[in-house]
Amino acid sequence: MAGLSTLLFDVDGTLAETEETHREAFNRSFAAAGLDWVWSKPLYAELLAVAGGKERIRFYLQRYRPELVASMAQGDIIADLHAGKTRFYTSMVESGEVALRPGVKRLLDAALNDGLRLAIATTTTPANVAALLRASLAPDAESWFEVIGAGGMVPSKKPAPDIYLYVMDKMKVAAGDCLALEDSANGLRAARAARLTTLVTVSEYTHDERFDGAALVLDHLGEPDLPFRVLAGDAGQQRYVTTELLRELHARGVKARRS
């Protein structure tokens, strides 16, 4: 049976509860451009089904501002709005407005100490990833991850498996060597399409989604003094996610695929 060697992390909602910061950054970018658009929480929850910031703006135009599609979608306006959003987002993250979710820093430290390889597989932009890692972990935190697969590095974003396949190819690892950590149904579908055993920690915007096929679904990774809550699957006697638990989940996943 292949052993676990590599952890592949999603970012938004998985490492940190970032989506409210993203939503605010979109709204600030719209206001700075002189637009009267305001993405409320219910609207943003709907828009999150569309992976990618530029894609999200384009979908919003098509669904809610169809009279503007011809004038806005053909030029650089969408790209400019998204670039403005990225600037606002990174500034907010760098100012300390976003904290890591429970258990994330502890698990990353444990994984590195245990000799596991780490990588990022996300649809958010590289600038957003870099800002979060530097502000929330350490100035050199990007170096903790062998590969950071992000943004437009692949033709199709999640739920397509492209970003996972890209990262595994860069690392020269097979799906049977890896375990993915996700927070959303789209992310789970992407990981499962790449044949990855997947642990899900639901986030603010994803707790009502379906996670069929996940190895384990939790409310968060947990800490010794803040145990997780199991939403689906079997965590045994564990109260917080450890590398031991990840190896057990991975072994179950490999066994299931071979049966």
Q: Tell me the C-alpha to C-alpha distance, in Å, between residue 139 and each of 25, 57, 67, 111, 120.
A: 23, 31, 45, 19, 17
The catalytically annotated residue of 10, 162, 177, 183 is 10
- 227 prior amide bond cis, ω within 30: no
Same fold, 6-17+99-258 and 19-94: no
d(CA 51, CA 220): 22
Q: E strands of the chain, at which residues?
A: 6-9, 117-121, 147-149, 178-182, 197-201, 216-218, 230-233
Q: Choose the catalytic residue: 12, 162, 177, 183.
A: 12
- Fold for 19-94, please state it: DNA polymerase; domain 1 (1.10.150)
Per-residue pLDDT at 70: 79
CATH superfamily ID and name for 6-17+99-258: HAD superfamily/HAD-like (3.40.50.1000)
In this prediction, residue 1 carries a pLDDT of 44
- The residue extents of the domains of the chain are 6-17+99-258, 19-94
pTM, two decimal places: 0.93
Predicted local confidence at residue 132, as pLDDT: 96
Taking the C-alpha atoms of residue 29 and residue 98, their distance in angstroms, rounded to an integer, is: 18
Q: Is 140 a catalytic residue?
A: no
The pLDDT of residue 71: 77
**β-bridge pairing 178-182 and 147-149:** unpaired
Q: What is the pLDDT along the chain (259 residues), one digit of tens a residue?
A: 459 999 999 999 999 999 999 999 999 999 999 999 999 999 999 999 998 899 999 999 999 999 888 777 655 889 999 999 999 999 999 999 899 999 999 999 999 999 999 999 999 999 999 999 999 999 999 999 999 999 789 999 999 999 999 999 999 999 999 999 999 999 999 999 999 999 999 999 999 999 999 999 999 999 999 999 999 999 999 999 999 999 999 999 988 887 6
Q: Is 76 a catalytic residue?
A: no
